[in-house]
Amino acid sequence: MCDFANGQTQVGFVHPALRSIILHFWLAYDHPFVDGNGRTARALFYWSMLHNGFWLCEFISISHIIRKAPAKYGRAFLYTETDGNDLTYFLHYHLDVISNAVKELHSYIHRKTENWQG
């Protein structure tokens, strides 16, 4: 997992954003801890994104989006598991989560700048 996280495997090119999402899935799916697997998986996702220059991820919250619809998160795992571990389901789900988190960030910035009195 560490080699994959650092791009040191012989799997060919994997886009860094997809690599980050795969790391999130991998840790959460393996579920190595009694508690905190989701938080650790999200932290690993953020680390990977930031490590690869996706600086905006420092300002978004995927946890906030996941908490809004936890059943979708669960189904992304379930669909992946029941279809021969085809990660397409989780990748699509997580890309939507990132997109929604960025939209929420933009909305937050818009609200704050509209209310700003400088």
Judge whether residue 62 has pLDDT over 70.
yes
Q: Higher pLDDT residue, 59 or 7?
A: 59
**What are 24-58's pLDDT values in tens digits?**
999 999 999 999 999 999 999 999 999 999 999 99
Q: Which residues contact 60 (CB under 8 A, 6 or more apart)?
A: 98, 101, 102, 104, 105
CATH code for 2-115? 1.10.3290.10
What is residue 3's DSSP assignment? H
- Domain borders along the chain are 2-115
Question: What pTM was estimated for this model as a whole?
Answer: 0.91
